[in-house]
Chains A and B, each alone.
Chain A
């Protein structure tokens, strides 16, 4: 089982960029401990949200044939707190994509406010690690994960822009 940490995509341009939304709620139990009386979203979980946004973008670029693993946090700069009730907008852009790996840049904003800048690298693990073998099935992109972009794909199909991809 893999957990989903973003709520939906609102833009998805194959091989280029994507925008996802994450709503933060006090129903998330970890916010009760982080910190008692002063709930703020852990910065590591902002990186996770960006990793999911950018990771799905990178995975879709190779039609989910590659096992895409977060390999490096190239940059993570945080400018502001995120608190319950905030709606985060995650903008991810593919900077480079090759057979073995991809590099992405991204920003997290809340309204007009820049919350974080997060640049990541993903490894296509079957093409790396000196020929080590991994299970055949793609354990990274489960159906649940892929279902996140289904509404976007369906909308593309309706507007005819799917044909241009």
Chain B
């Protein structure tokens, strides 16, 4: 069944409202999950579980939120920043994400800003409407 982007966004917004206890007008496309919507690490799993139910599909956590696995690998991190190799790897694993801002300063503390509402919608759009 095809889902329009608006439908996907609507369902993602409902999931985030329930999972994070935010108002629906706070869930904009550009909002970041952690800084803007107050998500903590366990919330990411909650969000994955809820998205799986809402969209009746299996969502591997490392597919939607792969950064956690990546920063545990030494060759990808140097001096608190993502190495070029790390950045390329992350880009490959997160094709649904806009890296324009992060590329200017690859401080791993800013990784959280990559997780936006839009990234989730992009991910689901690709996943649900592929093939």
Contact = CB atoms under 8 A, between A and B. Distances in A.
Classify the interface of chain A: helix, strand, loop or mixed.
strand
Given A130-B68, A130-B72, A103 B61 contact: no
A98 B83 CA distance: 31
Contacts of A71: 42
Contacts of A123: 42, 45
Nearest to A100: B45
A107 B45 CA distance: 22
Q: Which of B42, B49, B61, B71 has the most CB of A within 10 A?
A: B42
A71 B19 CA distance: 13
User: How many residues of B sit at the interface, in one of the four size bands?
Assistant: 10 to 19
Given A71-B42, A72-B43, A128-B41, A96 B71 contact: no
B98 interface: no
A34 interface: no
Interface of B: 19, 41-43, 45-46, 49, 52-53, 61, 68, 71-72
